[in-house]
Structure 1
Amino acid sequence: MKTLKFLSVFLLAVFLASCSSVRVNADYDKKTNFINYKTYAYLKSGIDKVEISDLDKKRILYSIDEVMATKGFTKSESPDVLISIFTKERERVDIYNNAGFGWGWGWGWNPWWGMGYSSVVTTPEGTLFIDIIDAKTKELVWQGEGSGYLTTNTDKKDARIKEFVSKILEQYPPK
């Protein structure tokens, strides 16, 4: 029985560790010359529509500011690009099934039978989209997307949001 409990805890730990990374993807307009972009601002109408708490919005925007600064971009009142974000959230449900019946003869011809078990693990999973829009043409030129598990722990939330933003913007500007 102790082995079964240990195995369950071990599998849950492996599962959670495998979920810790952010899966990213990016797409862009191949005809865009990204070298011309040096300044940015936020598209207020896009940011206002995001259905998350204002604190989480600030966390995301602060993280974007940090990453963009390390890439040599500066905020401007007359920007080259506008940045917008949007989010999706869903509950990821994983069902682990070890159900079954069995019976047989044990030592001394004692009959036995047993049942398997099932466990359900739910994890909140979120997707953050970062859109980069040409300020002159108002056309989307780059979109990055990051998906991964979310946390409600305030201490870990800052780090998790920074991880999302950093991984997404690793792909900007495209090579």
Structure 2
Amino acid sequence: MRYILTFFMALFLTACSTLQTEVDYDEGYDFSKIKTFAVVHKVKEGESTLVADRISEAIKQTLKQKGLKEVSRDKADVVMLFHLNVQNKTEIYTDYQMVGYGRYGGMVISTPRSYNYDEGKLIIDAYDPKINKTIYRVVLVDEIKHKKTPQERKEYVMEVVSKGLKDFLATK
């Protein structure tokens, strides 16, 4: 019984840690006219420039793979802006254990347990400077997975950004 409960708790915690993606865009905008881009980010106090640089590079690589050309901000068809927020979260769940012998001699004990983790939220906006509007927004939320090496961190950021921008330019 304990092994089954452990399996389901591990499955539940794994299911909760998947990347959540929310996309919104201007349905009337003609995305086919976008040929150039620029990435702009102002680093906030206390924010890691290493992480910001990885995100910026991942956005650039993803958009270049889609056939867009990187140019300066004043010449770009679209300006990509991103915001990063990290928040400490606590998940509380109850573990039920049966103690005693037989059908009628036992009882159930509930044990509340908590799980602390950091949740990262990355918001990427595509902004058209000609019409002064945000035309595309993706919000990515995930439990921050602590990676050991800079290469692992870079690969994780690339994976998250590419999932978030996979439908960019494919919108109709």
Q: How does the TM-score come out when normalised to structure 2?
A: 0.80
Change in Cα spacing, 1:131 to 1:114, as seen in structure 2 (3 Å) is closer
Q: 1:68 aligns with which of 63, 80, 103?
A: 63
Unaligned runs of 5+ in 1: none
| Mapped contact 1:22–1:167 kept (Cα < 8 A) | no
Please point out which of 54, 73, 76 is paired with 2:49: 54
The alpha-carbon deviation at position 98 of structure 1 amounts to 3.2
State which of 81, 85, 92 in structure 1 corresponds to 2:78. 81
Q: How does 1:1-175 map to 2 (within 5 A)?
A: 4=2, 6-7=3-4, 9-43=6-40, 46-49=41-44, 52-77=47-72, 78-98=75-95, 115-155=109-149, 156-173=152-169, 174-175=171-172
Deviates more, 1:46-55 or 1:162-171: 46-55
User: Alignment partner of 1:61: what SS?
Assistant: helix
Structure 2 vs 1, CA of residues 26 and 116 (structure 1 numbering), >3 Å: closer, same or farther? closer
Is the 1:130–1:143 contact (alpha carbons within 8 Å) kept by the matching residues of 2? yes
Matches of 2:46 and 2:78, distance apart in 1:
23
The number of residue pairs the alignment matches comes to: 167
TM-score by length of 1: 0.79
Q: Distance in 2 between matches of 1:134 and 1:140?
A: 6
Alignment gaps of 5+ in structure 2:
none
Classify the secondary structure of the residue corresponding to 2:27. coil
- Higher share of residues assigned helix: 1
Query: What letter is aligned with 1:72?
Result: G
1:101-132 per-position Cα deviation (integer Å, ceiling 9, x unaligned): 977x769xxx7767332211122111111111
